[in-house]
Amino acid sequence: AQSVAQPEDQVNVAEGNPLTVKCTYSVSGNPYLFWYVQYPNRGLQFLLKYITGDNLVKGSYGFEAEFNKSQTSFHLKKPSALVSDSALYFCAVRPEYSGAGSYQLTFGKGTKLSVIP
């Protein structure tokens, strides 16, 4: 079974500073990794994904994430935080193989990001 850990319930960062939201995962075989963002009373919005190839993945709104296979991590980053980035961020994983149990996403508990003006 796969799992995701987001070790920080909350991350506070000053506007204009770089931000990092941490994620580690466990999965059989190679992972497909995703980041989603959730604003209050809204559904999840897709930010970016890692499937294969370059370990640095670029996504929406200036976010990027770095895949590290040896550390089983997929940390979300942004060079300069905006107040509007304040939201709940979820990391998710599914295994590369196709078959039973593979299509469902397994999510972490989420990290609340607060960007302070």
Check: CB of residue 115 under 8 Å from CB of residue 81. yes
Q: How far is the CB of 80 from another protein (least distance, A)?
A: 27
Pick from 11, 35, 76, 108 the residue near another protein by CB under 8 A: 108
Cα–Cα dist 88/114, whole Å: 9
Does 46 interact with another protein (rule: CB under 8 A)? yes
Cα–Cα dist 33/46, whole Å: 11
Two tokens at 80? 């300069």
Does 42 interact with another protein (rule: CB under 8 A)? yes
Does 103 interact with another protein (rule: CB under 8 A)? yes
Cα–Cα dist 50/5, whole Å: 17
Contacting positions for another protein (CB under 8 A): 4, 32, 34, 36, 41-46, 49, 51, 90, 92, 94, 98, 100-101, 103-110
